[in-house]
Amino acid sequence: MPDVGEGLTEAEILKWYVQPGDTVTDGQVVCEVETAKAAVELPSPFDGTVHELCFPEGTTVDVGQVIISVNVGGDAPPAPAAPVTESVAAQAVPAEPVAEEDEPQGRQPVLVGYGVAASSTKRRPRKASGDVVPTAPVQQAPAAVSVPEQLNGHASAAGRPLAKPPVRKLAKDLGVDLTTVVPTGPDGIITREDVHAAAAPAPAPAVETPAAAPAPVQAPAPAAAPAAAPTTETSGARETRVPIKGVRKATAAAMVGSAFTAPHVTEFVTFDITRTMKLVEELKTDKDMAGLRVNPLLLIAKAILVAVRRNPEINAAWDEAAQEIVLKHYVNLGIAAATPRGLIVPNIKDAHAQTLPELSKSLSELVATAREGKTTPAAMQGGTFTITNVGVFGVDTGTPILNPGESAILAVGAIKLQPWVHKGKVKPRQVTTLALSFDHRLVDGELGSKFLADVAAILEQPKRLITWA
């Protein structure tokens, strides 16, 4: 089981797409797993035949454990039991392990071409079974491990560049050959930034990278919520116990950590949003927004981006270890999304640089991906400011908890027709309430109040999207 996110320690096997005896190719998706952040498809790094699936669906497996055994030896019969206890990626042939052999240094490739750090200990010599000829494996196994071809200055044990599945997909989408990318990540792992840097001088090079950029095969959609349907439920039971795992477990840990680490302050503002609602209706018929989704959340997001520009200190983070306040000169706008697997907060990268049509497209893609359960761990990392829209449930407002690593979060309440004093007369107007929670360690009351007042002022008079931008 590889670490498909940043520092994840376990994942649940949701679905196997192959069975023992099936032929798999390099890059073919063999299973789908759910981490603490998202559901991720895992490709095979080899051509071969599936020998054994080491864990059934629904099992939570620690990172580093072997989950599938693949016979990569062509016509040679797969070893009966011994290889199942070791990663298939560490062997080029289905042979018995060599007695008293040192582990390869650095990271060993597992299911997606990288893996846990190698142990400094030696494996105990293992007895060879009587029907195996020991001479051939002894000559071949070391060569497969110790002489990989050099890839951009870093070699994996399988002779492939080290990169995580989201990075491989990004490289494929951008047409980047991973073997030409210079890695900057730990242990020679290629990061998203490395791929973007390689794509900058040549946006769409025509390269052939069958082994470096696996293309997931079409597969049926995952189960909507495995954790919500425990097998222990019986008819007429007064209680049902649901295991705490996956996204729910990660959300709980993050919320507890945030609530008891950052001193939260929440401020509220109620205002007339009628003009913004009229603008929403006008934009729906605008030719520049044709085919795009236009709703109040889009203009609220744009208002936040303008308010951040006027109050840049709100877009920051507290670095406890370094005792520094980190001011972010970009906005990765997070959108809290309720999914069958629980609450997730994917974010729109560099939202501050997007036009209104671009922002609309990004929001639509983010929501659609979240509903399908296909949000990647990378999409949920690096957020700087979050919106949570509780108004869709008819709720007036709330006191949101900060997303870890961010200094503020805005809750949007329901928009309702209410009596409101407008131009000296009581009239029915569309009214809403915004709630801003912020980290009082780095956001003072004055800054938080100014920011919240700016967002409300823009939505009261949406022409400020132009005058203040």
Q: What positions carry a catalytic annotation?
A: 440
SS3 123: coil
Question: What is d(CA 340, CA 338) in angstroms, rounded to the nearest whole number?
Answer: 7
Question: What is d(CA 294, CA 31) in angstroms, rounded to the nearest whole number?
Answer: 37
Task: Kindly give, in sequence order, each residue whose CB lies less than 8 Å from that of residue 85, ignoring residues fewer than 6 positions away.
Answer: 66
In this structure, what are the phi and psi dihedrals at residue 268, rounded to the nearest 5 degrees? Answer: -130, 150
Task: Return the sign of the alpha-carbon dihedral for residues 26, 30, 32, 36.
Answer: negative
Token pair for 452: 């919240």
Other Cβ atoms closer than 10 A to 239? 5
Half-sphere exposure of 281 (CA within 13 A, CB side): 5
Q: Determine the residue type at 155.
A: A
Residue pair 35/4 in contact (Cβ under 8 Å)? The answer is yes
β-bridge mates for residue 317, sequence order:
326
Question: Based on C-alpha coordinates, what's the Rg of the chain?
Answer: 26
Token pair for 10: 């376990």
The DSSP letter of residue 187 is G
Q: What is the 3-state secondary structure (H, E, C) of 397-409?
A: CCCCCCCCCCCEE
Beta strands 333-335 and 347-348, pairing class = antiparallel
**Which stretch of DSSP H or E encloses residue 278?**
helix 274-284
Listing DSSP states for 352-418 in one string gives: GG--HHHHHHHHHHHHHHHHTT---GGGGSS--EEEEEGGGGT-----PPPPTT-SEEEEE---EEE
Residue pair 165/4 in contact (Cβ under 8 Å)? The answer is yes
In this structure, what are the phi and psi dihedrals at residue 326, rounded to the nearest 5 degrees? Answer: -100, 110
Question: What is d(CA 376, CA 203) in angstroms, rounded to the nearest whole number?
Answer: 23
